[in-house]
Amino acid sequence: MSDKHGVIVVGGGIMGVSAAYWLAQKGQAVTLLDQYDIPNQWAASGDHLRVFRLTYGKDAFYTDMALKTLPLWLDLNTQTGEKILQQNGVLELATVSHGYEEHSLNVLKELKLPVQRLEKNDLKRHYPMINSRAVKWGLFHKDGGMLWASKAVTHLASLAQRKGAKFRSRVKITQVLRDKKEGIRGLKDEHGRLHVGESYLFAGGMWTPELLKSYGIPIKVTRQYQLYLRPPANRGRYRPEHFPVFASLAAGFYGFPLHLHGFMKIGDHRKGPIAKPGKGGETELPQAFEKKCRAFLKRFIPELTNFTEYEGHVCHYDNTKDDDFILDRLPDAPNGFIAAGFSGHGFKFGPLIGKTMADLVVGGKPELNLHRFRLGRFKRR
Ligand SMILES: Cc1cc2nc3c(=O)[nH]c(=O)nc-3n(C[C@H](O)[C@H](O)[C@H](O)COP(=O)(O)OP(=O)(O)OC[C@H]3O[C@@H](n4cnc5c(N)ncnc54)[C@H](O)[C@@H]3O)c2cc1C
C-alpha cells in the first residue's frame, strides 16, 4: 500500500508545522506526519513556554533573525486573537562588566532597538525581589517575552490545515528510501506503509539522527532539566504583568514569571548529560539539580529559595557542534531537505524557519542567508 503526496513534512514540532503552514500558503499540497500527537509532550516544542529574546551577545546575526521573526509572531497573535507571544520583556542580570550582556546592549543600541540599562538602584526599585548585590547591572528589553510553545504549534497546525495541509499523527517513519538518480523516492513507516511525495522536509528534532541515519547527521542530544516552583511568598509580584522573563547566562539559569496554576519555571541553559532520544517527559528531578536551582535562587532571588511545592520536567536539546542550526538540502537528494540541530535556542525563530524552508522546498530564494546553516560545514572542519 502506498500514499502519494506533494511535499511530505516529517515532524510536527514548531519547525515542521510552520513549514507546513507556509507551504500550504504557497499553494503546495502538503502532508505532515508525526510519530506522536501534534503537539506532544516529548517534542522540544511540546512544552508550555519558551523565551523570545533579541539579545545574542555579539552575535548580531541571530539578533537580526529574531527581529525578522518578531512580526511573524505578532501576526500569529493577530490571526489567533491570542497572545502566543506575550511581550512582558526580558531582564538579563549581568554579573561581570564587559560580558555577554554588554555586547547585547551594544548590538541593540546600534540597531536603535528599545533597551534599558538598569543600574543596581533601578533594579532595587523595579524588582525588589532581586538581590542587587549579586548583580552588576541589568539589561531589560521590552520586545522580548514568553512564547506559549505548544499553543503555537496547535494554532499553526490548524491554520495550515485550514489552508489545505493534511496532518497525520501516530505515523512513525522508519526508513528513507534513496535512489542515486532521483534522490528520495519514498518513506516507509513502522507498519511498512509507503509514503511517496515529490519533496520531503525532515524536521525531526532530537530524533533526526535516527530518522536520517544513512546521512550521518552530526547532532548530539542532551538531557535538560527544568523546575516548576510555586513561590512560597509574595506570589502576586511574580505575575507576568509585574515580572519579566529573567536570565543570568553566566550563572546558566533562566526563568519565567507565574504562568501555570501559580507556578513559575526555571531552567539551566548549559548543556546537560548526553542522552538517547526517547520519550523524556519525566517529572522526577535529580537532587543535584534541585540543589543547583536553590543555589541560583539564593544568590539572585533569595525569597524563592525555600520553595516546597515543585515539580520537575525533562526535555532534550538537539545540539550541533557550533550551536548553529542545520537548514539545507540533503546531499545527493535534490528533493530532500532538513531543518534540525536547533541546539536549545530555535523556538523563537520557528515561523521564520518554516517560511525559509518552504522557500527552499519550492525553489525560491529565502530571505535568510543560509550559509551559516549548511550541512557541509561539518565536513570542512
Ligand atoms: C528545556 C528546553 C528549553 C528551551 N528553551 C528555549 C527558549 O527559551 N527559546 C528558544 O528559542 N528555544 C528554546 N528551546 C529550543 C526549542 O524548544 C527547540 O529548538 C524547538 O522546539 C525545536 O523544534 P523542532 O520542531 O525542531 O523539534 P521538536 O519540537 O522536537 O519536534 C520534532 C517532531 O518530530 C517528530 N518525529 C521525529 N522523528 C519522527 C519519525 N521518525 N517519524 C515521525 N515523526 C517523527 C517528533 O515526534 C516531534 O513531534 C528549548 C529546548 C528545551 C529542550
Please list the alpha-helical segments (H only) found in the chain.
Answer: 14-25, 60-80, 100-110, 120-126, 149-162, 208-211, 287-300, 350-361, 377-380
| Residues 6 or more apart whose Cβ sits within 8 Å of residue 213 | none
Q: What is the mean pLDDT of the chain?
A: 95
CA pair distance 219, 317, nearest whole angstrom? 9
Does the pLDDT at position 285 exceed 90?
no
Does the pLDDT at position 381 exceed 80?
no
Q: Which residue's C-alpha cell is 550551536?
A: 323
Tell me if 221 CB under 6 Å of ligand 1: no
Output the pLDDT for position 342.
Answer: 98
CA pair distance 89, 67, nearest whole angstrom? 14
Q: Is-contact 256 146, C-beta < 8 A?
A: yes
| Bond from prior residue into 39 cis (ω within 30 degrees of 0) | yes
Tell me if 44 CB under 6 Å of ligand 1: yes
CA pair distance 214, 219, nearest whole angstrom? 14
Tell me if 205 CB under 6 Å of ligand 1: yes
CA of 14 to the centre of ligand 1 (A): 7
Q: Is 262 left (phi over 0), alpha (psi -120 to 50) or beta?
A: left
Output the pLDDT for position 380.
Answer: 58
Output the pLDDT for position 282.
Answer: 63
| Residues 6 or more apart whose Cβ sits within 8 Å of residue 159 | 21, 79, 80
Other C-beta atoms lying within 10 Å of the C-beta of residue 234: 11
Report phi then psi at 108, rounded to 5. -65, -40
Nearest protein Cα to ligand 1, atom 5: 50
For 226-272, what is each residue's pLDDT tens digit? 999 999 998 999 999 999 999 998 899 999 999 989 999 999 999 99
Does the pLDDT at position 188 exceed 70?
yes
Tell me if 172 CB under 6 Å of ligand 1: yes
Which grid cell is 165? 495541509
Of ligand 1's atoms, which has the minimum distance to the CA of residue 267?
A: 1
Domain boundaries, the chain: 2-45+150-217+322-380, 90-142+220-319
CA of 252 to the centre of ligand 1 (A): 20
- Burial label for 372, CB within 10 Å (0-12, 13-18, 19+), is middle
CA pair distance 2, 185, nearest whole angstrom? 12
Tell me if 204 CB under 6 Å of ligand 1: yes
Does the pLDDT at position 284 exceed 90?
no
CA pair distance 336, 204, nearest whole angstrom? 13
Does the pLDDT at position 340 exceed 60?
yes
Other C-beta atoms lying within 10 Å of the C-beta of residue 151: 17
Q: No. of H helices and E strands in the chain? A: 9, 21
CA of 254 to the centre of ligand 1 (A): 18
Q: To test ligand 1's pocket by mutation, which of 10, 14, 36, 50 has the most ligand atoms within 8 angstroms of CB?
A: 50
CATH of domain 90-142+220-319: 3.30.9.10
Q: Is-contact 381 102, C-beta < 8 A?
A: no
Does the pLDDT at position 198 exceed 70?
yes
CA of 281 to the centre of ligand 1 (A): 13
Does the pLDDT at position 281 exceed 60?
no
For 72-92, what is each residue's pLDDT tens digit? 999 999 999 999 999 999 999
Nearest protein Cα to ligand 1, atom 51: 344
CA pair distance 222, 318, nearest whole angstrom? 7
Percent over 90 (pLDDT), the chain: 91
Q: What is the DSSP string of 185-230?
A: EEEEETTS-EEE-SEEEE--GGGHHHHTGGG----EEEEEEEEEE-
Of ligand 1's atoms, which has the minimum distance to the CA of residue 15?
A: 25
CA of 340 to the centre of ligand 1 (A): 9
Overall CATH class of domain 2-45+150-217+322-380: alpha beta
Tell me if 226 CB under 6 Å of ligand 1: yes
For 162-174, what is each residue's pLDDT tens digit? 999 999 999 999 9
Which grid cell is 19? 513549514
Instruction: Indicate the pairing of strand 263-268 with strand 253-260.
Output: antiparallel
Output the pLDDT for position 283.
Answer: 66
What are the distances in angstroms from CA 219 to CA 286, 340, 357? 25, 8, 19
Specify the DSSP class assigned to residue 225.
E
- 277 pLDDT band (50/70/90 cuts)? confident
Does the pLDDT at position 1 exceed 60?
no
Which grid cell is 59? 552575535
Other C-beta atoms lying within 10 Å of the C-beta of residue 60: 17
